[in-house]
Amino acid sequence: MGLLDRRFEGLESSYLFSEIASRARRFAKAHPEREIISLGVGDLALPLAPSVCEALVLASREQGEPGGFKGYGPYEGRAFLREALASDYARSGAELSSEEIFINDGAKNALFSLLSLFEPGITVLIPDPVYPAYLDANILAGNRAGFIEGGPENGYLPSPPESAAASLVYLCSPGNPTGAVYDADGLKAWVSWALERDAVIIFDSAYRSFIRECGLPKSIYEIEGAKECAIEIGSFSKSAGFTGLRCGWAVFPMALEREGVSLNKLWRQRIAVSENGAPYVVQRAALASLEEPGASECARAADFYLNSARRIAAALKSAGISCTGGLNSPYVWLECPAGLSSWELFDMLLERAGVVCTPGAGFGRRGEGRCRLSAFAKAEDCERALGRMLEVLNRL
């Protein structure tokens, strides 16, 4: 028996966004005269909303005031934030109690640690293309991954496969990287499928705050029966600019049980032994993003990014480039023209336009031949990047 976990060998040698950053850095070093605009990783360009920033400042000062210091908090997160999230869910039609919501220091960690609740070696279904952390987490957990394919044929929204059996299935809506959003019927089909098979859905709603079309579910718990079969992972990263502050949540409904065990109880045990949660000041800031006037300030920032995403999608379409997303999502998912592979288009846009995108191949086999553009940039940067990209693309 060796010392090291050989499952690491199953991962790509470099994480997608690290690889992109290092290629962009190399290019910048070789061409210091060129200005590079990143429409790559989904990191936000706008500063924190004023009310969120103010809450951070006030909560930080409170720490130095007599009686104001907050040390370890409850492992499941501060009650004020769990209650505010429960009210936020209720506004979009999902009834949850604050006991079902657990605050954490970001969705990415939670996506990895929640697999510790399950027996290693289980079969999981993962959309292709999708955010690469799902597959990586399952490789490291020693699970067997099958794929549910998304493409133009199903609008990048895989339906439940009749024959496949799995213990876990991942759904991401609005989808990263495609921007595709499940409607209620699409989610109902998945909930019925999971209930029939005792499978658990892991529903990633990190981009829920970008849904603008009426009637599209923001949470899987808007669907009847979902509390018996789904865990939801949420994040303040994109809704409130917490990519650096780090705060998210996981929902484990009381009704979710397998083999006679409550997953809510298991998760409570899991985080008590392994985590101390998100800092108090960060949780105060997260609260400010849910309450007025912070909620409106954050919604305006989301509208700003959505406006850029729509402009990018419209301009690409008028140049004859097929793309999806950009409607209820900050991402535009475009078809690589002239038969280019996604890394070929990445290199071409970097070298000729000075624009960083994300190659679709990094999101799975079905992502090949596509690239993702993120609209999380300043409007003027998006405009300039678009102009330069179109110049390159129109010449192909």
Per-residue DSSP letter, 352: I
356 residue type, one letter? V
Which residue of the chain is nearest ligand MLT when measured via CB?
42
**Total residues binding ligand MLT (CB under 6 A):** 6
Residue 46 touches ligand MLT, criterion: CB under 6 A: no
User: Toward ligand MLT, which CB reaches closer, 19 or 54?
Assistant: 19
Residue 362 CB, nearest approach to ligand MLT (Å): 9
Could you tell me if 288 and 52 are in contact, meaning their C-beta atoms sit under 8 angstroms apart? yes
Tell me how far apart the alpha carbons of residues 235 and 229 are, in angstroms, rounded to a whole number.
Answer: 20
Q: Which of 176, 178, 205, 209 binds ligand MLT (CB under 6 A)?
A: 176
Q: Which of 78, 108, 208, 284 binds ligand MLT (CB under 6 A)?
A: 108
User: Toward ligand MLT, which CB reaches closer, 109 or 192?
Assistant: 109
Tell me how far apart the alpha carbons of residues 245 and 279 are, in angstroms, rounded to a whole number.
Answer: 9
User: Toward ligand MLT, which CB reaches closer, 107 or 226?
Assistant: 107
User: Toward ligand MLT, which CB reaches closer, 36 or 189?
Assistant: 36
| Rounded CA Rg of the chain | 21
Tell me how far apart the alpha carbons of residues 236 and 207 are, in angstroms, rounded to a whole number.
Answer: 9
Tell me how far apart the alpha carbons of residues 235 and 106 are, in angstroms, rounded to a whole number.
Answer: 6
Residue 42 touches ligand MLT, criterion: CB under 6 A: yes
Tell me how far apart the alpha carbons of residues 305 and 222 are, in angstroms, rounded to a whole number.
Answer: 26
User: Toward ligand MLT, which CB reaches closer, 107 or 166?
Assistant: 107
User: Toward ligand MLT, which CB reaches closer, 229 or 357?
Assistant: 357
Residue 131 CB, nearest approach to ligand MLT (Å): 6
Residue 135 CB, nearest approach to ligand MLT (Å): 13
Residue 38 touches ligand MLT, criterion: CB under 6 A: no
Residue 353 CB, nearest approach to ligand MLT (Å): 19
Output the six-digit token pair for 205.
């709603």
Strand positions, DSSP E, 243-369: 248-251, 257-258, 261-262, 323-325, 331-335, 355-356, 358-359
Tell me how far apart the alpha carbons of residues 137 and 243 are, in angstroms, rounded to a whole number.
Answer: 20
Residue 281 CB, nearest approach to ligand MLT (Å): 22
Residue 30 CB, nearest approach to ligand MLT (Å): 25
Tell me how far apart the alpha carbons of residues 9 and 242 are, in angstroms, rounded to a whole number.
Answer: 31
Residue 41 touches ligand MLT, criterion: CB under 6 A: yes
Tell me how far apart the alpha carbons of residues 96 and 324 are, in angstroms, rounded to a whole number.
Answer: 32
User: Toward ligand MLT, which CB reaches closer, 131 or 203?
Assistant: 131
ω into 174 cis (within 30 of 0): yes
> Which helix (DSSP H) or strand (DSSP E) does residue 242 occupy?
none
Widest pairwise Cα distance in the chain: 66
Tell me how far apart the alpha carbons of residues 300 and 328 are, in angstroms, rounded to a whole number.
Answer: 14
User: Toward ligand MLT, which CB reaches closer, 129 or 253?
Assistant: 129
Q: Which of 75, 131, 170, 190 binds ligand MLT (CB under 6 A)?
A: 131
Residue 45 CB, nearest approach to ligand MLT (Å): 13
Positions touching ligand MLT (CB under 6 A) are 17, 41-42, 108, 131, 176
